[in-house]
Structure 1
Amino acid sequence: MTREDGTIAAEKVTPRQYDRWPEDHRADVEIADGRAVATAVPSARRRRAARLIANALDAAGGSEWNADVAVEIRLTEAPLTVRRPDVVVYRADALDAAPMHADQVLCVVELVSSNSLATGRIVGVHRYAQAGIGHYWRIEWSATGVPVACAYDLDPASQVYQEHAIQSGLVHVTTPFPVTINLTQLS
C-alpha cells in the first residue's frame, strides 16, 4: 500500500531484497535512500519525447555508447538508491548489465513536467552528481509549450553540475558527444 509521502513501505529495502522483486514490480518503483517510492506511469507524449531523444543520442553515440529509455540505474548500494531516468546513455559493453551502475552511465536525461519540477531540478540532479554521472540533461516545457533543453556537465572536483547549454528549437551540444536534437518534434 502506498503511503501519503509516496513510499510503499516503512521499512528500508536492501539490495538483496530489491533484486528478488519481479521485474514488473520494479518497473513502477524507484528506491530513494532505501525507501520504495511509487512512480507515475509516463504519458504517451512523454514516452514519445523520451524515445525521440534516445534515438538521436543513440545514433550520435556511435559504437561506444547506447541510449535507451527507462533504464534502471543503481546509484548507491547503502542505502539503496535506484533511479529510472527517462533516457540513459551508457557504455555499449554494459548492454546486459543487471543492475546498471552509475560508473557505466555517461548521461541521464530527465523530462520534467510541472508535477516533477522539484525532482528534476533538485533531487534527481543532486543524486546523479553524487553518483559521478558526467552529464545531466533536463528537458522542460515552457509556459507556451515550447521544450527547452538544459545541459549540465559534472565538475569532478566539486561533484556539482555546471551549466553547459540552455537551448530550444534545434539544439546543438558538444558534450557528452556532438549531437543535434530537434526539440520542436517534442511539442
Structure 2
Amino acid sequence: MTALPDWMVLPPEGLTAERYEALPEDVCRRVEIVDGAIVVNAAPRRLHQLIARRLANVLEESCGTGLAVATDVDLRLRDIPLLNRRPDIVVYDSTLPDDALLRPQHCHLVVEVMSPGSVTTDQTDKPAEYATAGIEHFWRVENVHEDAAKLAVFRYRLDPTTGSYASAGVSTGTMVVDHPVTVTIDLGELV
C-alpha cells in the first residue's frame, strides 16, 4: 500500500489558504479545494483541452482592453473554509496585477467544459458556488450527442434577486452573445 504524500494529510479543520499557497505549483495545477478538502482532478482529455483553448482564444480576441482571459487558473471563492476552484476559462478585469489572487469580484465570466468525470461538479456544484460568490456570467460547454462536433453552450446570468443563476439561453451551431463580451462563435470550429 502506498502512503499519502504529506501535503494530502489534512488537519481536522482542513487545508488553510496559507498551507495551500505553500504547496508546490505542480500540485496546485491538479487539485481544487472544497471546504478545506483536497479534490484531485484527473487530467482532462485532449478534446476537452482543445475546446477550452479555442474558446478562450475567441473570447480573448473579442474582449478589448478592459478584460483579460485566462485558462485553468486558481479562483479563490472563499478563504474559510477554503474554496478554491480551477475553471477552464475565466474572463476577468485586465487591471488585476499578475501576482494578485483572482477572486470573484474580478470575474465577469467563468466557463466550464464538461467532461464525463465532471458532470455533477459542472452542472450542480460549481454553478452554485460561482453564483454564491457573485460571478455575473457562467457558461457550461457540453457535447449534446455522442458526436463530438455537436457542442452546446448553456449560458447563465446571475439573478440579483435570488442570488442564483437564471438561464440566458442555450446555443448550438452558431452562438451570438453580447454579454459579457460581444462575440459570434461557430461552435463547430471549437472541435
Unaligned runs of 5+ in 1: 3-7
Q: Which amino acid aligns with 2:101?
A: P
Q: Which amino acid aligns with 2:164?
A: V
Q: Which amino acid aligns with 2:61?
A: A
Query: Which of 83, 96, 115 is 1:113 aligned to?
Result: 115
Aligned-CA RMSD value: 1.4
What is the CA-CA distance between 1:131 and the residue it aligns to? 0.6
Residues 1:25 and 2:52 are matched in the alignment: no
Matched pairs, number: 182
**Structure 1 segments (4+ residues) deviating >2 Å:** 8-11
What residue is the counterpart of 1:43 in the other structure?
Answer: 45
2:48–2:115 CA contact under 8 A, matched in 1: no
Unaligned runs of 5+ in 2: none
TM-score if structure 1 supplies the norm length?
0.92
What residue is the counterpart of 1:178 in the other structure?
Answer: 182
1:9–1:35 CA contact under 8 A, matched in 2: no
2-structure distance, mates of 1:116, 1:154: 22
User: Against the structure 1 CA distance between its residues 10 and 21, is the aligned structure 2 distance closer, same or farther, given a 3 Å change threshold?
Assistant: closer
Deviates more, 1:29-38 or 1:93-102: 93-102
Tell me the percent identity: 34
2-structure distance, mates of 1:172, 1:121: 22
2-structure distance, mates of 1:60, 1:182: 14
Larger-Rg structure? 2
TM-score if structure 2 supplies the norm length?
0.90
What residue is the counterpart of 1:130 in the other structure?
Answer: 132
Report SS of the residue matched to 1:130: helix
What residue is the counterpart of 2:160 in the other structure?
Answer: 156
Q: Which amino acid aligns with 1:142?
A: V
What residue is the counterpart of 2:88 in the other structure?
Answer: 86
User: Against the structure 1 CA distance between its residues 150 and 91, is the aligned structure 2 distance closer, same or farther, given a 3 Å change threshold?
Assistant: same
Residues 1:166 and 2:156 are matched in the alignment: no
What is the CA-CA distance between 1:114 and the residue it aligns to? 2.5
Q: Which amino acid aligns with 1:178?
A: T
2-structure distance, mates of 1:27, 1:99: 15
